[in-house]
A and B are shown apart, each in its own frame.
Chain A
């Protein structure tokens, strides 16, 4: 591939698929890599093979550990060659192979030799490679050279050392912090990028020292900064210093500096400064003006990136200072036709935020032309902006509502249509005048709507709002059309809506009854059932009577029963002479007793208004536990585990357990199901032997009185434990109960029962039970702000493990913490890995953990564990968890 380019041949143009890597195959390339071992090295051929290896890696191919090691070892042989180009490729492939610690040692001496070479390219690259693959111990050996390199007169070498320093600061801060004198010197470098890199490193070294950063900014803002990148960096540091100085009165420090940057010759600096000014907290309009002026100029730039940058920033400013942006409105209106649709969308949404009442109509006209040629995702943004504009100027609802109904008729995907429908619904709710026209728009939409979900939602909404309008009868046609034209789901929804009209508007009743009666012959069960139900409840036997209040509540009221409970009760209900009683369905989410058979009174339950969704598990547990008097004084529930199965699948009794952790108590909630139809269990409890859990003392136990076939029941056992201590232990469990025979034909249980026991599996309380998985969005920030006051660091050997990934996930599970920033994923082949974890420990103490893993050839895994937390004791506790296991 390194042959000089052949003159372009016309024949070759026909082979569209021509590629030097056509048909490349990993196995073959690995074979080829044997040339690295030749006594007479051919640099050009070796470079070609490395390129092929890099091509494979770049395309996402991965090497097995053995393959990677083999390639790495043969690549190290190539240091014998003095060929510059080949050496460059060797550097590249070593970085890509990310060798393990014991492999690094083999190239260390070669790389250290290169670090002291006379060739600048060798020095710069050797530094970058060595710092990339090295670990802390080696770093102390090469530290001297790195410090020299930072002040090297060759800018490439200096930059290489500085950038490597920035990376190493993450893993070995204590070493890099010692270089601060050299870095300080490099900040004064005449080479533009060296200054940039030095500035970046220096600030990171001192980031916890506000005074030092402030001093740095003060001296640099007076001096000369050569590269635009360094200037941008300085602007960011300046903003940070301003943010932290919090002076509310008088002139803002450094504002003049930011303002002067607006006149810099590099666009990136101008923009950085303008953005920094707009983001100042409590920025005044006087401070804003120069920044807005600069951004306004950018709006008419020929460069899309500048237009984008300006309009994006102005869009943000418009949220807090709409008046400051209005001067740019004319420039922004011309951006509506911008080729770049991201710019156009930002311009429109900004205009919608800043526009005044009089400009709305003109704006809407422009937007209408624009809507046809943008993608759905942009359209949704526009629709949302229009919705808020309409709420801001309710008088303009007519043109805005028209706009929404027009775009509703055009082509579009589900998300887009849903955004429009949602907007119309919100406008109807908030602007009374808009109701009638809005409802008619929705009616027209469902005449030709391809989305079942939207049709049913609109029908439901019509059922609530339609009857309250002055002329409800005009909606009936649209609704009844659904019964003829749509699928069963929509038909059923239409039937319910019709019934609501019938219930609310007496004048319409006779007509509604006629329509509903026709629905009785529908082909779908649900539609027929609903029609029959409504005819009966509304008294459709011909008489027009005022609708009963109960019926109204039934049709429109909320079903204040958890759906789960209703479902279990219905399952449990056996057809008999007695009707199902909805009042017997428990309203609390708790243990499921027998459905008591009360005298029939109320109507059978069918469908009701949309019930509240099932509550989240945590809420449910909390409500459940607090409803039990014995546990009410345990304080706030800290965490509930996910259920742990204590029985095999398909055994007589299915039992799982949930561990609820309180500050001083632990409650086991045993969820039991009796799977034998011929048995009724009574007085069901779990006998817990805590002899292997010394710190725990049983305080109370709450049995289930009765456990019929296939109805879940819960029994509880509560333990006391020392306050704040993460006591662990093993518990053995036995289910104890009185069993009564049930006659399958009558369902009656016999009078006398027999006491019996059933052995359950053991249960363990582990340290992870005391840890809640709570993620942080920016781990580094959180880590830095936590500070090192209560930092605990230690190293552990984990012995031989299956793989690095397995070791990482084992430790994560052991600690029960939330992996952050995707660090739970271990790249294939990697020999080391850093994993970031976050959580909240018992007592609501935030904990952050940084884990560094390394694996050796023999699969021995070593781990460095650094914990930072708000409480010293918790840091120790985390280490204890690891060291005990």
Chain B
């Protein structure tokens, strides 16, 4: 058994199931055709569900898929059948929140494409070759934003905004 928690893929699809950004970390889907087929299957299986307030979860082709939708964007993370779904959900929440911070709350397809460089860097900071690098949205977003070309675009104000969201997150998790 593979002991280290492992992420098989991270997907960001739009409301029609089209790929916005995707990163596959294992050989289960060797070709782009296989990848697209999997994305389609995941999208079809989940599109009618309401995954807006909480991270939802399902099984597909002996994989665990956790997912969350924000506006017209569908976030997915896939792990193996034996994976701890709570870990996967934590990674997904980190991804969703980090994207929220980086897009300054405007989490929608158009923004995601506009700032695709940030999304790709974000994925790069979350998982490296299947191994979880970081799950804390603030740290992820910080790492991406601090050295991105839009760092100067992200004004002082947005940083304090990000900080405020961070505090809110902290407060929320303390309240639970």
Q: A-side interface residues toward B, CB under 8 Å?
A: 1-5, 8, 12, 18-21, 43-44, 47, 50-51, 54-55, 58-60, 62, 83-89, 92, 95, 121, 128, 132, 156, 159-160, 163-164, 166-167, 193, 196-197, 200, 203-204, 228-229, 232-233, 236-237, 240, 267-268, 271-272, 275, 302-306, 308-309, 312, 339-342, 780-781, 821-823, 825, 827
Contact = CB atoms under 8 A, between A and B. Distances in A.
A19 B57 CA distance: 30
B34 to A, nearest CB: 9
B66 A84 contact: no
Given A1-B114, A342-B58, A85 B150 contact: yes
Interface string B34-77: 01100000000000011000111111000000100000000000
Given A60-B36, A85-B148, A200-B131, A305 B59 contact: no
Given A309-B86, A822-B27, A229 B5 contact: yes
Nearest to B26: A821
Interface in B5-50: 5, 19, 21-22, 27-28, 30-32, 35-36, 49-50
Contact of A84 (B1, B85, B111, B151): B151
A619 B65 CA distance: 41
Contacts of A59: 19
A64 to B, nearest CB: 15
Given A58-B19, A121-B143, A309-B85, 17 more contacts: A2-B149, A20-B113, A20-B114, A44-B149, A47-B117, A60-B32, A89-B149, A92-B121, A92-B124, A160-B128, A229-B135, A303-B89, A304-B55, A305-B85, A822-B27, A822-B30, A827-B30
Contacts of B134: 159, 193
Nearest to B32: A60
B128 A304 contact: no
B121 A88 contact: yes
B3 A240 contact: yes
Contacts of A95: 124
B161 interface: no
A229 B132 contact: yes
Contact of B147 (A121, A275, A302): A121
Contacts of B27: 821-823, 825
B146 A121 contact: yes
8 contacts: A1-B116, A47-B149, A59-B19, A85-B147, A86-B149, A200-B4, A229-B87, A268-B86
B3 A237 contact: yes
Most interface-central of A88, A236, A303 (chain B CB within 10 A): A88
A163 B143 CA distance: 17
A88 B133 contact: no
A12 B106 CA distance: 15
A54 B120 contact: yes
A695 to B, nearest CB: 40
Contacts of A275: 84
Contacts of A229: 5, 87, 132, 135
Q: Which 9 A-B pairs have the closest CB atoms?
A: A60-B32, A85-B149, A268-B86, A84-B147, A825-B30, A305-B89, A4-B153, A51-B117, A200-B4
Contacts of B57: 304-305, 308-309, 340, 342
A232 B55 contact: no
Nearest to A377: B45
B108 to A, nearest CB: 10
B95 to A, nearest CB: 14
Nearest to A86: B149
A159 B106 CA distance: 31
B153 A58 contact: no
A197 B27 CA distance: 22
Given A1-B117, A60-B35, A193-B134, A204 B4 contact: yes
A305 B5 contact: no
A306 B149 contact: no
Given A128-B128, A303-B55, A339 B49 contact: yes
A26 B54 CA distance: 39
Contact of B128 (A87, A163, A232): A163
A interface majority secondary structure: helix
A509 B33 CA distance: 60
Contacts of A156: 143
Given A272-B84, A305-B86, A339-B49, A51 B116 contact: yes
B57 to A, nearest CB: 5
Contacts of A272: 84, 86-87
Interface residues of B, number: 59
Interface of B: 1-5, 19, 21-22, 27-28, 30-32, 35-36, 49-50, 54-59, 66, 84-90, 104, 106, 110-111, 113-117, 120-121, 124, 128-129, 131-135, 143, 146-151, 153, 155
Q: Considering residues B88, B117, B132, which has the most beta carbons from chain A within 10 angstroms of its beta carbon? A: B117
Contacts of A44: 149
Nearest to A227: B135
A196 B86 CA distance: 16
Contacts of A160: 128
B84 A19 contact: no
Kindly name the residue among A1, A85, A275, A305 whose own CB sees the greatest number of chain B CB atoms within 10 A.
Answer: A305
Contact of A92 (B87, B120, B129): B120
Given A55-B116, A85-B147, A88-B148, A825 B31 contact: yes
Contact of A167 (B55, B104, B129): B129
B5 A308 contact: no
Given A89-B117, A166-B131, A203-B3, A268 B148 contact: no
Contact of A163 (B3, B110, B129): B129
Nearest to B155: A4
Contacts of A8: 106
A156 B134 CA distance: 9
A21 B149 CA distance: 18
A303 B87 contact: no
A781 B82 CA distance: 15
A340 B116 contact: no
Quick one: which of A1, A20, A197, A240 has the most chain B CB within 10 A?
A1
B151 A85 contact: yes
Contact of A43 (B87, B110, B146, B149): B149
A741 to B, nearest CB: 57
Contacts of A341: 49
Contact of B84 (A132, A159, A167, A232): A232
Nearest to A55: B116
Contacts of B66: 305
A232 B4 CA distance: 9
A228 B173 CA distance: 15
A303 B4 contact: no
B100 to A, nearest CB: 15
Contacts of B117: 1-2, 47, 50-51, 54, 89
Given A84-B147, A85-B148, A200-B131, A236 B3 contact: yes
Nearest to B91: A229
A823 B111 CA distance: 37
Nearest to A13: B110
Nearest to B3: A236
A19 B110 contact: yes
Nearest to A375: B45
Given A1-B116, A19-B113, A303-B55, A267 B147 contact: no
Nearest to B148: A85
Contacts of A240: 1, 3
A386 to B, nearest CB: 20
A657 to B, nearest CB: 34
A90 to B, nearest CB: 12
Contacts of A86: 149
A794 B139 CA distance: 45
Given A85-B148, A88-B121, A305-B89, A268 B30 contact: no
A748 to B, nearest CB: 60
B28 A822 contact: yes
A278 to B, nearest CB: 13
Nearest to A19: B113
Contacts of B153: 2-5
